[in-house]
Amino acid sequence: MDVFLESGYREQYNMHYDESLALFQCPYIDQYLHTSFGKTYVLQFGNSNNPPLVLLHGMTMSSVMWYPNVKAWSEHYCVYAIDIIGDIGKSEANEIIMQKEEAVAWLKETVDALGLDQFYLAGHSIGGYIALRFTMAYEERVKKLALFAPAAAFHRLHWRFFYYSFPGLLFQTEKWVDRAFRGLSAEGLPFAPGYREFMLAGYHHALPRLRLYPLKIEPEELATLKLPILLMIGEHEVLYPAHKAMEYAQTNVPNITCILVHDANHTLTIEQPQIINEQVLSFLHSEISRNSERSGAEDESSDK
């Protein structure tokens, strides 16, 4: 059931993973938590007495994707970065997650095992979708929710996303993996030295077992949300037209702040970390959520 078909590949990947943690430039502790879906790997940053902030990464990117963000956030929060089970990362699945209810159940078991009753929650791409679904099921446990280009939640996935992403998973060569991530960024590959090599180590020898396909969420479901939500999308987002997704969210989510991030695509948390870090801290610190903001130019893309 492991994403790595051979144990030797798992060991190599874990070695690259451990080396890449130097990118965070701050202390951490890590642990495995046992759930009914398998072993879940969690990184913890910051003072455990600070309010908890839980992070869920984007598909195949693992918790290491938060290296440009965690140092700033962990000064004020105890940050828990969780490797989504069944995806490429250090978590090891014994069951394949195919339905949103299973993803929500896995996350509940994980935060329960961490002893978190109430917490701030944030997620990127598929992690954002899972975070939103969890919040819809257990809103009383989430203080505020931050979403970075959540997969499909506010707009169906565009064919361009599959065009750029799937060949990397299928062919697993350096050329196709680089092509995939160039397609997900506004200005080529934005990764720090060491992260690209770490990503290649995963793509070369692993195949995600996560089978959750995100779908656009209906207005009547979104209308039930009452907590403050921050939605940030890059102006060049490839998953869907950014302005249409934000318009749908603003229309149907009662207490949401939408920010369009200039010069960014799907990897916005890595491409524009200063903007992301500042906006997230401002949102989490604030008592009142604003209705809408813009950071950068309006997205001119259309749903073709």
Residue among 229, 261, 263 at smallest CA distance from 153: 229
Contact 211, 96 (CB under 8 A): yes
Annotate 120-149 with DSSP letters as a single string: EEEEETHHHHHHHHHHHH-GGGEEEEEEES
Residue 62 CB partners (closer than 8 Å, separation 6+): 17, 83, 87, 88, 89, 90, 202
**Residues 185 and 265: beta-carbon distance below 8 Å:** yes
**Beta-carbon contacts of residue 186 (< 8 Å; ≥ 6 apart):** 234, 235, 236, 263, 264, 265, 271
Active-site choice (76, 236, 266, 285): 266
Q: 3-state SS string over 78-127?
A: EEEEECCCCCCCCCEECCCCCCHHHHHHHHHHHHHHCCCCCEEEEEECHH
CB 299 within 8 Å of CB 236: yes
Handedness of CA 267, 268, 270, 276 (dihedral sign): negative
SS3 179: helix
Q: Phi/psi class of residue 101: alpha, beta or left (left: φ > 0; alpha: ψ in -120 to 50)?
A: alpha
* 57 a catalytic residue: no
Neighbour count for residue 287 (Cβ, 10 Å): 5
What residues act catalytically? 266
